[in-house]
Amino acid sequence: MVVDFIHGFMLGEASNPSETFDIGPDPLERVRALPPGTAPTLARVAEALGEDGLRYEFDSAFEAALDVLVKGIEAVARN
């Protein structure tokens, strides 16, 4: 599981040469331009995250996901 986790992150990062995964130009503006009521949940989430929150940083995401994975393994091992 750990090997597959690391492998998946490596593949994702290798497929994107930039430091962050950007979902496209002006994602917040694109969501705001949708017809009213088209995607209300997406609109609420996008507004709550803001422009910076809609970017994906591989390093911080890897560390956060690895922490969750390790804590899950520790919890199973305690039981």
Question: Of all helices (H) and strands (E), which one includes residue 32?
Answer: helix 27-32
Cα(64)–Cα(14) distance, rounded to whole angstroms? 19
pLDDT (average), residues 54-68: 84
Report how many domains make up the chain: 1
Query: Which residue range forms the structural domain that includes residue 47?
Result: 2-78
Q: pLDDT digit string (tens) for 9-21?
A: 888 888 876 665 6
Q: pLDDT digit string (tens) for 19-49?
A: 656 566 688 888 899 999 999 998 998 888 8
Q: Is the pLDDT of residue 63 over 70?
A: yes
